[in-house]
Structure 1
Amino acid sequence: MVPISQLLEFAALSWPDRPAIIEKDGYMSYGELYAQTELLKAELLHLGLTKGQGLGVMGRNGSAFVAMMLAGMGCGAVVLPISHQLKAAEVNCLIKDTKLHAVIDDQSGVQPVDNELTMISFVRQDLRFAWLEPVKDGPVTPLSDAAFIRYTSGTTGSCKGVVLSHNSIIQRVDAASKALNLTPDDAVLWVLPMAFHFLVTVLVYLRSGASLIVCKDLLAQTIIHDANQHHATLLYASPMHFRLLAADLSAKQMPTLKYAISTSAGLPGNIAEAFAQRFNLQVTQAYGIIEIGLPLLDSLLGKEKNPQSVGFPATGFSVELLNDDNEPVAEGEVGRLAIRGSGMFDAYLKPWQTAEQVMVNGWFMTGDLALREVDGRIVICGREKTMINVSGNKAFPEEIEAVLDRHRAIEGSRVYGQVHPLMGEIVCAEVVLVKNIKLDVEDVLRFCRSQLSTYKVPQRLSQVEHIAQTQSGKLKRIWSS
């Protein structure tokens, strides 16, 4: 295995002139990215950044963000990626909760702190560095080999700071590299926020020598243009991106794309079908989770794809479906998804809990409910916490949302449970309508009745202007009330 500090060096020695990151202003080769990262690391060391200190890294997608992350880890610091789209209060909350020592950013968002700034030159821009005052003594975590902290999405509860060591990251990158099987001939179309997806995918792409094409915006025409201009071979995106592309009316194709992988949230079947028809390329899903990495994806060649599954366990991972007593469920039954394998997280930050304390008999309980198909593929049915219990029957919001989203008048939906004195819970739904369409409640319910069991049909349906999402693109769930 190649250590994190040497990962970029290995790529620079192997493919010095190969484009590492392609941006709107040009590209940076692996040789140049390594040289600039080493200069930045030297500057951070000169400023006094040392092993174990917490470093917030805030920036937009691009070479500067990658260099800041790798330079920070190269100094031995524990890096916390921060989205440049966060508001000042949100950034301040992250900094205080994590008890960081310092912050570095690319000036693309709010100024993280009001303390004295040191400007650091990076290629054609200046980065800002600031110490937090007062600078606290000691490491940011009790873990001696800590390298990375990222907060979970917080879709159904409070966010948790997930801590990963250098060794865990190395194992995770190694496992994901084998699963994705990329080469220096590949070019990855990048549309996801690096602040939420740096581990594990960005490091895998750098390790493999692939080029990372950073799209300047999320317009379908931009994504298609960049794919064709730079001969993209892989699109790794969220359902939102696939929906935008499927709706594009230009008729332009992306002929060099070999793979399209959806992640971060469940992919509705109608979007997968529409994308496949529009671009003549089937979408598959990958199951990524910050505590584990990339344990499930549909990567087996020669098998027919199933866009509704998240694929098979990757090499080095085991999957089990457990009941409430932590025993395996019968074949074909829905169970609680449990995973173990390479590169598992080391601890939760606050309150401090090691992975061993969190896991159940060596299994990490993902919080998802799933079933295993006959061929071994895993299909996600919903979240344990969001499952709606209607008179003893299990209704999964994700399944109902998939049906609602297929209605011609509905742009998006969110389903949740509401406490009911007789039935325990009932199904409720919020919908965002297509522009210039009026809500016809009975038509929507009639559509649902044609495709869902009676207990799954929403009892209450309301129109909203928008549906809130987390920073990583997942629906913000509503608790039963």
Structure 2
Amino acid sequence: MFSIVEAIRERATPEAVALVQKDRTLNYQDLFKQSDAMADAIRQHAPRDASRPDRLRIGVHFPSSLDYVPLALATLTAGACFVPIPDELAEEEKRDLATRTALDYVLVSEPLATWLPEGSVKVGEFTLAEQKVQIQRLPAATTNFPVADFEGINPAFIRFSSGTTGKSKGVLLSHESLLERITSANEGLQIGPGDRVLWVLPMAHHFAVSIVLYLYHGATTIIEETHLGEDLLRAGAEQKATVMYGSPVHYRQLVEAPPVGEWTALRLAVATAAALDAATAEKFRTRFGRDLVQGLGIIELGLPVLNLTGAQEAPEAIGLPLSAYECLLKDDSGKEPPQGEAGEICLRGKGMFDAYLDPWMLRAQVVDAEGWFATGDLGKRDSAGRVTICGRKKTLINVGGMKVFPEEVERIIDSHPKVQRSLVEARVHALYGEVPIVRYIPSPEGAPTTMELRNHCRAHLAGYKIPLIFTVTQELPLTASGKLKRA
């Protein structure tokens, strides 16, 4: 049966450097030596029950670091389905994830083991980078999905979607789909053995289409421990990074960083996970002499859309679909709307997810009759065919029949120098039906006045899009992957 880990192993150059973190390096040969040793420990202490038809589901709860990578590979090498457990989740959410995936075992760093369900039993442990990793057997859980169908997929990976507007779903990927999506995405990224990728995202959220892609194509992944712009710049310069893949938050900090190094090796910078603003893109181009390329990263498909050719003309666009994908916009009647008008972004192509775990739905039950997957994102096309995301279909605010996309308003408010981040929501209004209101986190230097924010919005937005109420807050509700959590 096909294994993505074995595919990586077959292509790897043993002495080539796979991972870097500060003064530590790990070449491909040692990476597999470590993962194989841990896979042996997993097989010894967490053996598969020969009487059951499906493979084990093993959670990994470990700090995002160089050592996370061989641990995740060991899970797959041992023949299990890998289930990352984000550290950002509350303990109750971690237990819920374990229940919904019917986890058999968890590999957990000793200090992080406090959340484990009652009845968990430590059946073994091993040492990884001077940290004790416990192998915990979880109490038997009821599977709410057909185990024979689950096993028939050749499952490699389960990750829960962000759950920005409701309960998250477990997205299931097979080894084959994982290979399809990383090779399809790389038709645009063009990552190869000569690349050194600066890594700034959490492993538990971006492992499948990112780390696996870099390993498969023989690149070096440089893991930076902090998200401060100064540290990112220093790491990029000193490590001669050629690629960076991060969120707009990372790039906003990077463009304002003091001049602690000259980052001249950079060839490609990709922004994903949240909307990119034009001001940050322009500052990045001015400082580094490279376009900041926005893409659409989506757990159901990987990286199907990338703004490789339009980053200067339309920096806020996610761009055009890569060659392995097609993109269609659909209005409420199911037809492509006129240029410049919004429609739901629908995608199809290689490496699409195989099933939703909870509730169980095979891919064929989710896509339409022609194979289109409806993303829930609303977008519009420009004259070049590039797509720009307007917002989420479920979060659209209807102001007297006029459409307001919260994400558009947030992008403007977030561009104010005294605002760190904002969340725009709807409030019921007797006359207009709904009106937008906003909560925002001020910058450390202090909050802007309401009049300053209103004037800033007025310069960029139509009047009906300007929030009726501006409220200062010290925190906003976020999903485990750092996206805004909407009611």
Matches within 5 A, 1:52-67: 52-67=55-70
Q: Secondary structure at the match of 1:281?
A: coil
Find the aligned partners of 1:368 and 1:43 in 2 and give their Cα distance.
43
The 8 Å contact of residues 64 and 106 in structure 1, kept in 2 or not, is answered as: no
Residue 80 (structure 2) pairs with residue 82 (structure 1)? no
In the TM superposition, residue 140 of structure 1 has moved relative to its aligned partner by 5.8
The 8 Å contact of residues 397 and 416 in structure 1, kept in 2 or not, is answered as: yes
The 8 Å contact of residues 33 and 63 in structure 1, kept in 2 or not, is answered as: no
Which residue in 2 is equivalent to 1:42?
A: 40
Which residue in 2 is equivalent to 1:376?
A: 385
Which residue in 2 is equivalent to 1:355?
A: 363
Which residue in 2 is equivalent to 1:8?
A: 8
Q: Secondary structure at the match of 1:308?
A: coil
Find the aligned partners of 1:319 and 1:464 in 2 and give their Cα distance.
38
In the TM superposition, residue 195 of structure 1 has moved relative to its aligned partner by 0.3
Find the aligned partners of 2:314 and 2:127 in 1 and give their Cα distance.
48
TM-score norm. by structure 1 comes to: 0.93
In the TM superposition, residue 97 of structure 1 has moved relative to its aligned partner by 2.0
1:357-392 Cα offsets, whole Å, 9 max, x none, are: 111232110000001222222111111011111111
In the TM superposition, residue 304 of structure 1 has moved relative to its aligned partner by 4.9
Which residue in 1 is equivalent to 2:98?
A: 95
Which residue in 2 is equivalent to 1:109?
A: 112
Find the aligned partners of 1:299 and 1:380 in 2 and give their Cα distance.
16
Q: More displaced, 387-396 or 122-131?
A: 122-131
Find the aligned partners of 1:32 and 1:62 in 2 and give their Cα distance.
16
Can you give the 5+ residue segments of structure 1 that lack an aligned partner in the other structure? Answer: none
Q: More displaced, 141-150 or 284-293?
A: 141-150
Find the aligned partners of 1:442 and 1:111 in 2 and give their Cα distance.
47
Q: More displaced, 84-93 or 230-239?
A: 84-93
Find the aligned partners of 1:218 and 1:303 in 2 and give their Cα distance.
24
1:412 corresponds, among 421, 426, 449, to 421
The 8 Å contact of residues 65 and 225 in structure 2, kept in 1 or not, is answered as: no
How many residues matched?
Answer: 475
Q: Amino acid of the residue matched to residue 29 of structure 2? A: G
Task: After the TM superposition, list the runs of 4 or more consecutive aligned residues in structure 1 that deviate by more than 6 angstroms.
Answer: 135-139
The 8 Å contact of residues 406 and 424 in structure 2, kept in 1 or not, is answered as: yes
In the TM superposition, residue 268 of structure 1 has moved relative to its aligned partner by 1.9
Which residue in 2 is equivalent to 1:447?
A: 456
Which residue in 1 is equivalent to 2:231?
A: 222
In the TM superposition, residue 221 of structure 1 has moved relative to its aligned partner by 2.1
Q: More displaced, 260-269 or 407-416?
A: 407-416
Which residue in 2 is equivalent to 1:333?
A: 341
Which residue in 2 is equivalent to 1:257?
A: 266
Q: More displaced, 242-251 or 366-375?
A: 242-251
In the TM superposition, residue 203 of structure 1 has moved relative to its aligned partner by 0.8
2:126 corresponds, among 96, 120, 131, to 120
Q: Amino acid of the residue matched to residue 5 of structure 2? A: S
2:314 corresponds, among 273, 296, 306, to 306
Q: Secondary structure at the match of 1:109?
A: helix
Q: Amino acid of the residue matched to residue 101 of structure 2? A: T
Which residue in 2 is equivalent to 1:422?
A: 431
Q: More displaced, 230-239 or 38-47?
A: 38-47
Find the aligned partners of 1:366 and 1:314 in 2 and give their Cα distance.
17
1:321 corresponds, among 321, 329, 344, to 329
Which residue in 2 is equivalent to 1:26?
A: 24
Can you give the 5+ residue segments of structure 2 that lack an aligned partner in the other structure? Answer: 49-53
The 8 Å contact of residues 103 and 112 in structure 1, kept in 2 or not, is answered as: no
Q: Amino acid of the residue matched to residue 142 of structure 1? A: D
In the TM superposition, residue 74 of structure 1 has moved relative to its aligned partner by 2.3
Q: 1:208 to 1:9 in 2, by over 3 A?
A: same
In the TM superposition, residue 159 of structure 1 has moved relative to its aligned partner by 0.8
The 8 Å contact of residues 331 and 344 in structure 2, kept in 1 or not, is answered as: yes
Q: Aligned residues: percent identity?
A: 35
Which residue in 1 is equivalent to 2:139?
A: 133
Q: Secondary structure at the match of 2:149?
A: coil
Q: Secondary structure at the match of 2:121?
A: coil
Find the aligned partners of 2:227 and 2:83 in 1 and give their Cα distance.
25
Which residue in 2 is equivalent to 1:143?
A: 150
TM-score norm. by structure 2 comes to: 0.92
In the TM superposition, residue 79 of structure 1 has moved relative to its aligned partner by 1.3
Q: 1:442 to 1:208 in 2, by over 3 A?
A: same
1:74-129 Cα offsets, whole Å, 9 max, x none, are: 23211111123434322222112221000012346344535224112345443211
The 8 Å contact of residues 345 and 374 in structure 2, kept in 1 or not, is answered as: yes
Matches within 5 A, 1:223-242: 223-242=232-251
In the TM superposition, residue 303 of structure 1 has moved relative to its aligned partner by 8.1
